[in-house]
């Protein structure tokens, strides 16, 4: 019985995550997800090459850093575009219920939150990778 409860809870959590992903806008959320996945790939490649090839690890660190920053900037860019479109629609509608305004703000900030999550996850990995690299190879 406990296994069934845990499975149902996990399925419900995945549904919520998928809904938030689609609410944030599939275009920008997909681009930020691609930045996250490619950044994690380069980070993993850097960890693998710490002992074998330090220049490859250093290049992977730089690429991972740049892609995580790109994900962050895309998230905030999408949030600004969402806010502009929300304010345009509010202006067209006139007097609006505050709950509608609050839900529009929530949706416009989902991309910024996902971009910030991407940046933080990869940045933690970058810090760990820098600690593993020799000190003369850590310059950015």
Q: What is the mean pLDDT of residues 33-47?
A: 94
**DSSP of 59-101:** HHHHHHHHHHHHHHHHHHHHHHHHHHHHHHHHHHH-S--HHHH
pLDDT interval class at 43 (50, 70, 90): very high
Residue 17 has pLDDT above 70, yes or no: no
pLDDT for residue 25: 76
Give the integer Cα–Cα distance in Å for 104 and 87: 9
Going from N- to C-terminal start, the domains of the chain cover 2-134
Residue 19 has pLDDT above 80, yes or no: no
pLDDT interval class at 108 (50, 70, 90): confident
């Amino acid at each position: 019985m406990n296994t069934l409860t845990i499975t149902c809870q996990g399925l419900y959590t995945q549904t919520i995550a998928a809904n938030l992903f689609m609410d944030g806008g599939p275009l920008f959320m997909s681009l930020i997800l691609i930045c996250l996945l490619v950044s994690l790939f380069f980070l993993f490649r850097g960890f693998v090459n710490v002992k074998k090839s330090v220049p490859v690890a250093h290049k992977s660190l730089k690429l991972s850093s740049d892609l995580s920053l790109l994900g962050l900037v895309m998230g905030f860019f999408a949030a600004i575009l969402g806010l502009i479109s929300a304010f345009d629609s509010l202006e067209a509608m006139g007097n609006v219920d505050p709950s509608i305004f609050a839900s529009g703000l929530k949706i416009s900030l989902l991309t910024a939150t996902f971009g910030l999550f991407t940046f933080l996850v990869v940045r933690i990995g970058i810090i760990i990778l820098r600690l593993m690299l020799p000190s003369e190879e850590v310059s950015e």
